[in-house]
Amino acid sequence: MFDIIFSPGKWQFQIKDVYWLTTVELITALFFCGGLIFIGVGTGAGILAGIIAGAIVFYIYHNFYNDQAKPNRTSRKIGQMLIGLSVGLAVKHDDLAAVSPQIPIFLLLTFLLLGLGVAIAYIYKHLIKTDYLTAIFATVPGNIGIMGSIAADYGKNPALVSLIQVMRFTAVILLVPLMVQVPINHNFADTIHTFTHSIQILEPIYLLKLSAVFGMTVLAVETGNKLNIPVAAFFCSILTGIVINFLPDILPIVSPDYFQLPAIFNLLGQLLLGLTIGEYWGINPQLSPKNIIFATLPVAMTLSGGLIVALVAKSITHWDWLTCLLVSVPGGSPEMIWIALTLNHHVEIITAGHLIRLITINMMLPLMILVASHLDGMKKQHQYQEF
């Protein structure tokens, strides 16, 4: 969880340092979240506040205190677990049974989005005169941390990759709630009461159930990590929530009442997801005007590709436009599913679509890396022969 160096003084300092930084980020995020809720930004306030707070606090920390600091992956995993568990608990098994015949459609949309991503990578590669691998990592929709870390493993430009991925991700978080016309709660007092009430209902029996649920979730995530399941913290948490909803049918001794997480945990998950996105902004050294302008091009093309895929989905399915958009848009799976959960809008379809897309992209990534590396090798060999 922490980068521990076994030196008595430094060991204690690093752990306290991580706690201190995360605490400051969360307090700052809560401040911004309250302000966003006050002005009427109901849906998305938690993630947006986290992005703002993470960028500001981590930029100051990274540039003036510790220039070796890296974004906190643990915070993102905890955020994914909380949001994933909320999603899983909201999905009923009857809904999942209705989704299974649509798996071929999900695969078709995934390969279409992947094909558009490769085409965009080819265009971007020639625009900035970079290599195929860097262009693939930067433009193919995927997890921000995964794409940046793989780019570093291959000796490419992780800063440029994360810049484009973060810009795409942030653009989706900002634009999608506006495009789908998410209902806005203008009553600040009612919104705050929802979170404070969720703390008051934490009775001893409920706390025991909550501890058991969290224990099952952590165990599932650790198992998923060992099995190399993509984004295990998120999708194993979803599966845990779904299994918990199945328990009353499997075990008659289990109460038939559906278990739900208090709203305060959902908010915490949103804040943590936003914080880690903001930290990538705070650490990214590729923020010159020129790089931002060039990075805007693949981001715009990727978003346009998502809209094209959404139109295709609308033409071949009976889904409404909101469902097609949330299934197709190249944004973060936890965030898109969370928007669907907030709107109580076909969560099972959107969850299944993103699950299949992430698994497919992660399975195809080694092949794309192999092909891109081969093309880069051929280009270098051709340049060497010309020389």
Six token digits for residue 189: 């007092």
Structure confidence at residue 233 (pLDDT): 84
Q: Specify if 158 maps to a domain.
A: yes
Mean pLDDT rounded to a whole number for the chain:
76
Query: Residue 36: CB partners within 8 Å, gap ≥ 6?
Result: 45, 48, 49
Q: Specify if 187 maps to a domain.
A: yes
Structure confidence at residue 220 (pLDDT): 92
Q: Which long-range contacts (CB under 8 A, 24 or more apart) does 120-123 make?
A: 120/298, 120/301, 120/302, 120/305, 121/298, 123/298, 123/301
Q: Specify if 3 maps to a domain.
A: no
Q: How far apart are CA 215 and CA 237, in angstroms?
A: 11
Q: Specify if 1 maps to a domain.
A: no
- CATH number for position 341: 1.20.1530
Query: Which residues constitute the domain of residue 145?
Result: 8-386
- In which residue ranges of the chain is pLDDT below 50? 1-15, 184-186, 253, 256, 384
Q: Specify if 292 maps to a domain.
A: yes
SS3 82: helix
Structure confidence at residue 253 (pLDDT): 47
Structure confidence at residue 255 (pLDDT): 53
Q: Specify if 2 maps to a domain.
A: no
Structure confidence at residue 40 (pLDDT): 61
Q: What share of the chain is helix, strand, coil (3-state, %, to 5)?
A: 80, 0, 20
Q: Specify if 48 maps to a domain.
A: yes
Structure confidence at residue 316 (pLDDT): 92
Structure confidence at residue 186 (pLDDT): 47
Q: How many domains does the chain have?
A: 1
Q: Specify if 203 maps to a domain.
A: yes
Structure confidence at residue 13 (pLDDT): 40
